[in-house]
C-alpha cells in the first residue's frame, strides 16, 4: 500500500507574556477596525459587570438573612433582603436577554465578515505561497481562529470580570485568617502550572492533528465526490483508499487519546487541590463557630466569599492562560497574514490598451520552492502586439511556467520581464492581468450556469456572449440543454445540472477567454480534449477571431504551428529554437524531429514511429 506522509508545520509560538500581549493587541486591532467590533466589546463588558453584581448579591445577602433571623428579625429588612435575592436573577436575565440577543447578532455578522476578509486574503496570496502544502494546512488551522475572532473579547471580559470580583470581595476576605488565603493562592498557582502545561501540549497536538485533518479532507473527497466516482469504481479503489485513511486515522486517534489522558490526569489533580482547599476552609470555619468567635450567618458569608475569591482568582489566572493559549493560534494567524503579497505590493502604472506593445523576457529564471531544478532557466524571448507565437516542447520543458511568469502568477527568481521597457512589476497588478485572456491546460469550470461560467465577473453583454458562443462552436450545446444559457453545470448543486464532455468543457473555457477580450490571448493546450476534426475547426475559428490580437498557443500538436508567425521550441526551461515553421523545419533540429514523429504517428500509427 502507498505511504502518504502528513506534513506538520513546526513553528515557534510560545505562551510568554510578551507574545500574549502582542497577539492580543494584533487581534484587537483586527476586531476594532470595524465599528460593530467596538460595540460588541462594550456590550460584552456591561454583561460581565451585571454578572459580578449578581454574584456579590448571592455572596452577601444569604448570610445577612441568617444573621437577621438570629438577631433583630425586622420584617422590613427581611422583605428587602429576600426581595433582592429573589429578584436579582430575574432582573439580570431580563437585561441580559437584550444584551445577549444584540451581541449574538453582531457576532454572527462580524464573524461572517472576518471569514470573508480572510478568504479574500487567501485569494490574493501569491500562487507559489498558496501551493505550499504547509500553508494549506496552516490556512485550515487559522480559518478557525478568524471565524472565532470575537472569542478574544469574551476572554478579556472573563479576565475583567475576575479582576473586578477580586476587588469587590477583597474587603471581606481580608478579615479571614491569612493562612487560608495563602493556601488558596498556592493551590491556584499549582493549578495554573498544570493548566499552562496542558494548554501547550494540546496546542501542539492540535497542530499535528490539523495535518491529519487536511489529509482526511482530501482523501474523503475522493470517495465522496462525483469528480472521482468513475475512477474509484472502475479501478476498484474503495479498499485502497479505505486502508490508507484508516492507517492515518489510527495515528490521529493516538494523538486524540493522548490529549484525553492528559486532560483526565489534569482533572484528577484539580480535584485533589480543590479537596485540600475545601477541607482546610471547612475545618477552620467550623472551629471558629464552635469556639463562639463566629456566627453561622457570618460563616456562610465567609465560605461564599472565600469560594468567590478563590474562584475569581482562579478565573483570573485561567483567563490569562486561556488567552495565552489562544494567542498561540493568533501568533500563527499573524505569521500567515504577514506573508508578503509580492505581486500586490508594487505597481501603480496602468498599462495602455489598444496600442502597440513589446514584452521582453530578459535572462529570466524561476525555481519552485523546495526544488533544486530551474523550471525556467535563463529565458530570453520577445513578444510583439499582433504577433501569434506557438510554444512547443516536451512535458516539463517550462512552457506553462513561462505563461505563469508572463501573467504574474509567479515572480522570477532571477531576471526581469518588461512591457514596453518597464518592468511588469511596476504595473498595477490587476490591470496588468486584464491584458490577458488565458486558458490553462488545467482550467476549471465552476458550479454556475453556462452564462455565468463565460461572463464571470465581467459586465454582461448578450450580443458579445452570443458571438463567442457561435465562434467557439457552442450553439448546438446551448440549444440542446434544457435551460439554454441558464443551464447549471454539474450536479454538485443542482440535480438537473449538465455534465459537459471534455471537448465541450474546453470550448466553454475558450469562450470565456474570448469573452473577456484581453489584448493577449493565451491558450495552453487549447485543443487537448478535441478530436482532429474539432481541432481543425477550432483553430480555424481562432485564426479568424484573433486577427487583431496577440496570441500565444502552447501545444503538443504541432499542426497549430501554421497559425503562428513565430514558433519557440522550449527544452529544459530555455528557448533552444526560434523562427517560423518553415525556418525551423528546414534547420533539421529538435523541431523537425518532433514534427516528423508526430506526422508519422498520425499517418502510419505508433508502430512506425522510432
What's residue 189's pLDDT?
A: 73
What's residue 605's pLDDT?
A: 58
Handedness of CA 295, 296, 301, 305 (dihedral sign): positive
Model pTM greater than 0.75? no
What's residue 15's pLDDT?
A: 62
| Cell numbers that stand for 42 in this block | 462594550
What's residue 10's pLDDT?
A: 43
Please state the domain extents for the chain.
Answer: 17-337, 429-445+500-608
| Cell numbers that stand for 369 in this block | 520552492
Q: Give 146's contacts (C-beta < 8 A, 6+ positions apart).
A: 114, 115, 117, 118, 333
Alpha helices in 338-428, H assignment, sequence order? 399-406
What's residue 568's pLDDT?
A: 94
User: Residues of the chain whose pLDDT is less than 50?
Assistant: 1-11, 609-610
Alpha helices in 125-150, H assignment, sequence order? 127-131, 133-147
What's residue 11's pLDDT?
A: 46
What's residue 577's pLDDT?
A: 94
Q: Give 333's contacts (C-beta < 8 A, 6+ positions apart).
A: 142, 145, 146
- Distance in angstroms (rounded) separating the CA atoms of residues 288 and 294: 6
What's residue 604's pLDDT?
A: 63
Q: How many of the other CB atoms lie within 10 Å of CB of 233?
A: 10
Kindly state the DSSP code that residue 569 receives in the 8-state scheme.
E
- Distance in angstroms (rounded) separating the CA atoms of residues 24 and 37: 14
What's residue 371's pLDDT?
A: 83
Closest CA to 376 of 320, 345, 416: 416
What's residue 368's pLDDT?
A: 86
Residue found under cell 496602468: 350
- Distance in angstroms (rounded) separating the CA atoms of residues 13 and 325: 10
User: SS3 helix, strand, coil % of the chain, rounded to 5?
Assistant: 65, 10, 25
Question: Contact, 542 vs 563, CB < 8 A?
Answer: yes
Which value, to the nearest 10 degrees, does the dihedral of the CA atoms of residues 308, 313, 314, 320 take? 140
Fold classified for 429-445+500-608:
Rossmann fold (3.40.50)
What's residue 13's pLDDT?
A: 56
CATH superfamily of 17-337: ABC transporter type 1, transmembrane domain (1.20.1560.10)
What's residue 344's pLDDT?
A: 61
Question: Contact, 54 vs 92, CB < 8 A?
Answer: yes
What's residue 8's pLDDT?
A: 41
Q: How many of the other CB atoms lie within 10 Å of CB of 279?
A: 10
| Cell numbers that stand for 526 in this block | 487549447
Amino acid at each position: 500500500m502507498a505511504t502518504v506522509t502528513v506534513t506538520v508545520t513546526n513553528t515557534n509560538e510560545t505562551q510568554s507574556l510578551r507574545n500574549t500581549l502582542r497577539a492580543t493587541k494584533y487581534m484587537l486591532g483586527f476586531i476594532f477596525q470595524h465599528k460593530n467590533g467596538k460595540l460588541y466589546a462594550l456590550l460584552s463588558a456591561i454583561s460581565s459587570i451585571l454578572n459580578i453584581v449578581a454574584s456579590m448579591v448571592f455572596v452577601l445577602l444569604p448570610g445577612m438573612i441568617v444573621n437577621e433571623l438570629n438577631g433583630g428579625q425586622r420584617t422590613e429588612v427581611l422583605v428587602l433582603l429576600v426581595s433582592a435575592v429573589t429578584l436579582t436573577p430575574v432582573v439580570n436575565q431580563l437585561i441580559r436577554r437584550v444584551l445577549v440577543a444584540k451581541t449574538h447578532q453582531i457576532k454572527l455578522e462580524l464573524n461572517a465578515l472576518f471569514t470573508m476578509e480572510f478568504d479574500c486574503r487567501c485569494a490574493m496570496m501569491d500562487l507559489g505561497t498558496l501551493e505550499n502544502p504547509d500553508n494549506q494546512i496552516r490556512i485550515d488551522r487559522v480559518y478557525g481562529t478568524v471565524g472565532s475572532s470575537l472569542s478574544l473579547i469574551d476572554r478579556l471580559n472573563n479576565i475583567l470580570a475576575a479582576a473586578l470580583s477580586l476587588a469587590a470581595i477583597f474587603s471581606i476576605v481580608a478579615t479571614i485568617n491569612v493562612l487560608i488565603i495563602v493556601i488558596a493562592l498556592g493551590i491556584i498557582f499549582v493549578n495554573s502550572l498544570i493548566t499552562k502545561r496542558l494548554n501547550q501540549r494540546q496546542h501542539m497536538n492540535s497542530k499535528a492533528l490539523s495535518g491529519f485533518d487536511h489529509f482526511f479532507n482530501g482523501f474523503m473527497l475522493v470517495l465522496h465526490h462525483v469528480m472521482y466516482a468513475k475512477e474509484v469504481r472502475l479501478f476498484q479503489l474503495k479498499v485502497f483508499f479505505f486502508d490508507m485513511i484508516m492507517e492515518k486515522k489510527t495515528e490521529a486517534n493516538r494523538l486524540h487519546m493522548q490529549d484525553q489522558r492528559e486532560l483526565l490526569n489534569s482533572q484528577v489533580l484539580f480535584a485533589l487541590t480543590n479537596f485540600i482547599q475545601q477541607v482546610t476552609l471547612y475545618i477552620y470555619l467550623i472551629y471558629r463557630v464552635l469556639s463562639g468567635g463566629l456566627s453561622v450567618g457570618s460563616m456562610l458569608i465567609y465560605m461564599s466569599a472565600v469560594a468567590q475569591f478563590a474562584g475569581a482568582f482562579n478565573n483570573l489566572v485561567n483567563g490569562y492562560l486561556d488567552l495565552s493559549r489562544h494567542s498561540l493560534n493568533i501568533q500563527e494567524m499573524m505569521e500567515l497574514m504577514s506573508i508578503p503579497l509580492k505581486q500586490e505590493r508594487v505597481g501603480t502604472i496602468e498599462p495602455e490598451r489598444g496600442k502597440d506593445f513589446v514584452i521582453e523576457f530578459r535572462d529570466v529564471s524561476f525555481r519552485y520552492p523546495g526544488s533544486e531544478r530551474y523550471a525556467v532557466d535563463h529565458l530570453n524571448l520577445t513578444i510583439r502586439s499582433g504577433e501569434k507565437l506557438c510554444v512547443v516542447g516536451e512535458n516539463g520543458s517550462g512552457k506553462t511556467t513561462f505563461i505563469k511568469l508572463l501573467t504574474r502568477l509567479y515572480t522570477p527568481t532571477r531576471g526581469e520581464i518588461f512591457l514596453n521597457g518597464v518592468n511588469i512589476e511596476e504595473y498595477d497588478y490587476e490591470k496588468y492581468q486584464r491584458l490577458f485572456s488565458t486558458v490553462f491546460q488545467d482550467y476549471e469550470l465552476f458550479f454556475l450556469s453556462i452564462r455565468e461560467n463565460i461572463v464571470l465577473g465581467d459586465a454582461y453583454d448578450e450580443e458579445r456572449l452570443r458571438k463567442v458562443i457561435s465562434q467557439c462552436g457552442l450553439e448546438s450545446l446551448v440549444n440542446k440543454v434544457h435551460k439554454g444559457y441558464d443551464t447549471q453545470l454539474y450536479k454538485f448543486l443542482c440535480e438537473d445540472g449538465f455534465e459537459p464532455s471534455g471537448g465541450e468543457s474546453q470550448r466553454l473555457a475558450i469562450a470565456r477567454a474570448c469573452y473577456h477580450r484581453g489584448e493577449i490571448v493565451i491558450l495552453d493546450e487549447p485543443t487537448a480534449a478535441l478530436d482532429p476534426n474539432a481541432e481543425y475547426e477550432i483553430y480555424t475559428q481562432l485564426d479568424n477571431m484573433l486577427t487583431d490580437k496577440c496570441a500565444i498557443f502552447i501545444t503538443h500538436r504541432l499542426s497549430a504551428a501554421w497559425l503562428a508567425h513565430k514558433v519557440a521550441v522550449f527544452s529544459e526551461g530555455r528557448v533552444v529554437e526560434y523562427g517560423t515553421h518553415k525556418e525551423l523545419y528546414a534547420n533539421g533540429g529538435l523541431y523537425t524531429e518532433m514534427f516528423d514523429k508526430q506526422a508519422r504517428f498520425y499517418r502510419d500509427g505508433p508502430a512506425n514511429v522510432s
